[in-house]
Amino acid sequence: MIVADTDALVDFLRGREPGATAVAAARHEAELATTVVSVTELTQGVRNERHGRAVRALLDELRVLRLGRAAAEAAGAIRRGLWERGRDIGLADAVIAAICLEHGAPLLTGNARHFEPVPDLLVRPLRAASPA
């Protein structure tokens, strides 16, 4: 399973590289999932009914990973640990990272450097997922 971050899914929906190719490749490579956070972020960005249909169609094809207590506690620990090192990735991204860690799944994202400080998180940059 590969977890797609919001930015990767937005690129896919817009046909914009490198996300469009990376998401398409990931869909063929393994089960593609996303998190409840990305569902929220995608839904808040719906501009019109046509766009809403496209977002819903994509989400219908993905496994949506939920936030349970264990991941919620892990997200808090991630933020606390980063704060102690003078870093922060924000609550939403800490939740995304914790959900990925709970499932042992890599995160496909265009914001790899942002997530790299999270211990043990497997980060797949969009560029690395795109064919050469």
Q: What pLDDT, in 10s, does the model give residues 53-63? A: 999 999 999 99
For position 127, what pLDDT does the model report? 79
Supply the DSSP symbol for 31: -
Domain of residue 18, residue span: 2-129
CATH number at residue 86: 3.40.50.1010
Domains: count for the chain: 1
Burial of 131 (0-12, 13-18, 19+ CB in 10 A): exposed
For the chain, which ranges sit under pLDDT 50? 128-132
CB 26 within 8 A of CB 108: yes
Model confidence, pTM:
0.92
